[in-house]
Amino acid sequence: MNVITIKQESIMEIKDAKVFHDYLNGVIEGEDVKKSTKLYADAKTFYSSVDPSISDDQIMYEVYSYEHDGLCYGLTVMQPVCVNGECNVTRGHFHENLDCDEIYCGMGGEGLLLLMDEDYHCHAEKVKCGSVHYIDGHLAHRLVNTGNCELKVQCMWPSHAGHDYKRVEEHPFAVRVFKKNGELKVEEE
């Protein structure tokens, strides 16, 4: 094995990255990384019904994000929780700036990327480790964890995209995904 040694008095300074994405543990770390946690208490309206058997402090998902010079890099980690049989979902949103697209990359687990157009028609793409998903800025998007372990999805988007949650609240996704006896079932609202 060859070992390369770089002297400190080199003409080029070599620095450590400000942010580190630990692919094995599934987290992004660094002093500029923001972390938000969505608890069941704050997510109850995402589902078709309230499940009294789930504690209000149950973590539904966590989002790690890093922004630099107009570009955002993030990671969503979703728990394998079902709410009265309905698979765990993220809040879902359109972008405030519809000209801003986004990329999702599956990092672990299994799920769906639920997409809804401006006429409120839905379709989905399977998310799994290695899958890459282009999201047109005119599509609302939401993740659904359909598996039995954490769903981890890496995201990249322009920081001026914004999040329009109100539009999805006024016109919710028209489908819901349930898990019954190990099988997925999609139901229309």
Can you say whether the dihedral through the CA atoms of 184, 88, 119, 106 is positive or negative?
A: negative
Q: Is residue 5 part of a domain?
A: no
SS3 of residue 159 by DSSP: helix
Q: Is residue 15 part of a domain?
A: no
Q: Is residue 28 part of a domain?
A: yes
Per-residue model confidence as pLDDT tens digits over 122-133? 999 999 999 999
d(CA 94, CA 73): 18
Question: Is 30 a residue whose pLDDT tops 80?
Answer: yes
Q: Whole domain around residue 118: which residue ranges?
A: 20-188
Q: Is residue 12 part of a domain?
A: no
Q: Is residue 1 part of a domain?
A: no
Q: Is residue 137 part of a domain?
A: yes
Q: Is residue 7 part of a domain?
A: no
Q: What is the pLDDT of residue 24?
A: 75
Percent of residues, the chain, with pLDDT higher than 70: 94
Q: Is residue 151 part of a domain?
A: yes
Per-residue model confidence as pLDDT tens digits over 152-169? 999 999 999 999 999 999
Angle (CA) 119 125 131, round 5°: 140
CATH classification at residue 79:
2.60.120.10
Q: What is the pLDDT of residue 37?
A: 98
Question: Is 12 a residue whose pLDDT tops 60?
Answer: yes
Q: Looking at the 3D structure of the chain, how many domains does it have? A: 1
Residue 85 backbone phi and psi in degrees, to 5: 90, -15
